[in-house]
């Protein structure tokens, strides 16, 4: 279960995030988020420019399923 503070922070985000934005939210390296995507633990897709995109809903679900966040 997410803390109220984290849940509020996540709900206030844009609907689609980049890897860099997700990394900044959790104060982790870009490669940490990239590894989660490549290992298929965090759903993401590439846009028409080849940039990784993460849906806010997927990020919230990932956080909910990983109690160490």
40 or 60: whose pLDDT is higher?
Answer: 40
Per-residue pLDDT of 3-40, as tens digits, reads 777 777 777 778 999 999 999 988 899 999 999 999 99
Nearest one of 25, 8, 27 to 17, comparing CA atoms: 25
Contact 36, 42 (CB under 8 A): yes
- Backbone phi and psi for residue 46, each to the nearest 5 degrees, phi listed first: -95, 135
Tell me the two tokens of residue 44.
């993401």
Per-residue pLDDT at 6: 72
Task: Return d(Cα 61, Cα 42) in angstroms, integer.
Answer: 9
Model pTM greater than 0.85?
A: no
Phi, psi of 12 (to 5 degrees): -85, -5
CATH classification of 4-65, choosing from 3.20.20.70, 1.10.1660.10, 3.40.33.10, 1.20.1250.20? 1.10.1660.10
**Whole-number pLDDT of residue 67:** 64
């Amino acid at each position: 279960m997410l803390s109220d503070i984290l849940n509020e922070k996540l709900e206030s985000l844009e609907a689609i995030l980049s890897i860099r934005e997700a990394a900044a939210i959790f104060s982790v390296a870009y490669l940490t988020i990239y590894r989660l995507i490549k290992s298929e633990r965090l759903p993401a897709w590439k846009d028409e420019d080849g940039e990784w995109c993460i849906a806010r809903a997927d990020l919230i679900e990932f956080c909910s399923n990983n109690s160490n966040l």
